[in-house]
C-alpha cells in the first residue's frame, strides 16, 4: 500500500478541488496526441487528428479526455486503495485496449504540465512532488494486471 503523508493528501485534494475536469481532461489528452503522436494509434476511430488544431477541436478527444480525467478522480478519492480502484481498468487496458503501460507515464507527466500551466505559482514544488507521485502510482496500478 502506498503511504501518503497528510501534507501530500492535502496538496492533492486542494489542487483537485479546483480542477475543471472537462477542460483539463480534454487538454491533457489533446497534448498527449500532439506531443507523442504515436499515441494516436489507439484512437483511429476518432476522426480528424491531422493537426494540433484538429486534435484540440476534436469533440471525441474532448469527450474522452473528460472520461479519462473523471476516472483519475477516483484515485484522488481513494488514495489508500488505488490498486483496487484500477484493477478492472487495468485488465481492460491490457486485454481489450492493448495499451503499452508506458503511455500511462506519458499521460501522467502531461497532466502535471497542464496543471502547472493552469495553477501557475500555486503549483509549488511540493505540489508537483505529490502529483508526480500520484500519477506514478496510478500508472503503476493501471499496469498491475497486465499479463
Partner 1 sequence: MLTAEDKKLVQQIWEKVSGHQEDVGAETLERMFAAYPQTKTYFPHFDLHHGSDQIRGHGKKVVAALGNAVKNLDNLSQALSELSNLHAYNLRVDPPRFSSQLLSQCLQVVLAVHLGKDYTPETHSAVDKFMSAVASVLAEKYR
Which parts of this chain interact with partner 1 (CB under 8 A)?
Answer: 27, 30-31, 34-35, 52, 55-56, 109, 112-114, 116-121, 123, 125-126, 128-129, 132
Least distance between partner 1 and beta carbon 92 (Å): 27
CB closer to partner 1 out of 85 and 109:
109
CB closer to partner 1 out of 57 and 84:
57
Between the alpha carbon of residue 28 and those of residues 8, 69, 80, the distances in Å are 22, 9, 25
CB closer to partner 1 out of 30 and 94:
30
**Distance between CA 42 and CA 24 in Å, rounded?**
20
Least distance between partner 1 and beta carbon 59 (Å): 17
SS3 51: coil
SS3 53: helix
Least distance between partner 1 and beta carbon 111 (Å): 11
CB closer to partner 1 out of 50 and 88:
50
Least distance between partner 1 and beta carbon 131 (Å): 8
Cell 486485454: give the residue. Answer: 95
**Distance between CA 107 and CA 127 in Å, rounded?**
18
Termini Cα distance of the chain: 21
Amino acid at each position: 500500500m502506498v503511504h501518503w503523508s497528510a501534507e501530500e493528501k492535502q496538496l492533492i485534494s486542494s489542487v483537485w478541488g479546483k480542477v475543471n475536469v472537462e477542460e483539463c481532461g480534454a487538454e491533457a489528452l489533446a497534448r498527449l496526441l500532439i506531443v507523442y503522436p504515436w499515441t494516436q494509434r489507439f484512437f483511429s476511430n476518432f476522426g480528424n487528428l491531422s493537426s494540433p488544431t484538429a486534435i484540440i477541436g476534436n469533440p471525441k478527444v474532448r469527450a474522452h479526455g473528460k472520461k479519462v480525467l473523471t476516472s483519475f478522480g477516483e484515485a484522488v478519492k481513494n488514495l489508500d486503495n488505488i490498486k483496487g480502484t484500477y484493477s478492472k481498468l487495468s485488465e481492460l487496458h491490457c486485454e481489450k485496449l492493448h495499451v503499452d503501460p508506458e503511455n500511462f507515464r506519458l499521460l501522467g507527466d502531461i497532466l502535471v504540465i497542464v496543471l502547472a500551466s493552469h495553477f501557475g505559482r500555486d503549483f509549488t514544488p511540493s505540489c508537483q512532488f505529490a502529483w508526480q507521485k500520484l500519477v506514478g502510482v496510478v500508472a503503476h496500478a493501471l499496469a498491475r494486471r497486465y499479463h
